[in-house]
Amino acid sequence: MTGRTKARVATGASAGWVNLLNFGMLGASMEPNAAGELAIEFCAVSYVLPGGQQLLSGLDLKVQRGETLVLLGRSGSGKTTTLKLINRLLSPSHGEVRVNGKSISQGEVIRLRRSIGYVIQDVGLFPHYTVEQNIGLVPKIEGWSSERIRSRTQELLQLVGLEAQLASRYPHQLSGGQRQRVGVARALAADPAILLMDEPFGALDPLTRDELQREFLSLQQGLSKTVVFVTHDLREALRLGSRIALMEAGQLVTVLSPREFLRSTVPLAAAYVKAFGDGPSVAAHRGDS
Ligand SMILES: Nc1ncnc2c1ncn2[C@@H]1O[C@H](COP(=O)(O)OP(=O)(O)O)[C@@H](O)[C@H]1O
Ligand SMILES: [Mg+2]
């Protein structure tokens, strides 16, 4: 029996991630799309490099609390730049980014980052830290005791379907899928209300990717975190997103629900659907709401 299978058995038939609810540690009472509840807002945001190259222009975007907003666009369209503006790895050249109704340029950057989990492809884990040290990074900064960090790590490993003994391994001793699971566990460690995920499943084989997508959906249905999820894969966007924000050349083209996207006459959206053939409609199981 593999570690994953064991974890499944241990936590019931559904994905282990849902078990976060049972620990009562996450904001399960958060209402998705509650009226007026904006988690993140971009107001006329532009980002220009010091040399003058404009990476983003006139971005207006609202992310509701509890939704999974997918940023979809080809490579170089400005998705990662948009994410980095949310946790202030970058600051807008013009306009304003708000989190929970407040401009983030005013507050303390460290506090902001601790309230936002960040999952990135490949380079997310520190190679010279064990799995437990990686997961415990933010809790340690927050002053948690090593005992509390250890028990939280064990909880999170189970949650993302990994065996307890992986805690002492180093990232190079894990498979790609295991590393991504650790990346998700680390992002969830201090229970942030917002998760930023930058092509988190992009480098995985199709079966592992499918598995992680399914687990992500279970997690999200149970917990309703506010998630901004970057992908260039329409299939993934349709499957995971409550809404899809389509980007091209540093601009927001349109924001649509998965169903709206499939029948959209916006030329770029229609081009995506055409490029993916008949497949995506099968994946678009989410409603218009
Ligand atoms: N620091 C930088 N210096 C120069 N060009 C950059 C820098 N950061 C990003 N870019 C360019 O800006 C564009 C948008 O980048 P990015 O937001 O990473 O796109 P995406 O994530 O959609 O692939 C790309 O053309 C990229 O090469
Ligand atoms: Mg990117």
Closest by CA to 186, choosing from 157, 225, 143, is: 157
Place of tokens 């904001």: 27
Residues with CB under 6 A from ligand 1: 49, 55, 73, 75-81
Distance CA 191, CA 171 (A): 22
| CATH 3.40.50.300 describes domain 3-283 | yes
Distance from Cα 80 to the centre of ligand 1, integer Å: 7
- Report the interhelical angle of 146-159 vs 3-11 (nearest 10°): 90
Distance from Cα 195 to the centre of ligand 1, integer Å: 21
pTM of this prediction?
A: 0.83
Q: Where are the domains of the chain?
A: 3-283
Report the nearest-CA residue for atom 25 of ligand 1.
76
Distance from Cα 246 to the centre of ligand 1, integer Å: 16
Digit-coded pLDDT (tens) for 67-123: 999 999 999 999 999 999 999 999 999 999 999 999 999 888 988 988 899 988 765
- Which region, left, alpha or beta, applies to residue 117 given φ > 0 means left and ψ of -120 to 50 means alpha? beta
Of the residues 53, 54, 55, which should be mutated to test ligand 1's pocket, given the most ligand atoms within 8 Å of the CB? 55
Digit-coded pLDDT (tens) for 109-149: 988 988 899 988 765 789 999 999 999 988 998 899 999 99
Q: Where are the beta strands (DSSP E) in 49-189?
A: 54-64, 68-73, 94-99, 102-103, 116-120
Distance from Cα 225 to the centre of ligand 2, integer Å: 22
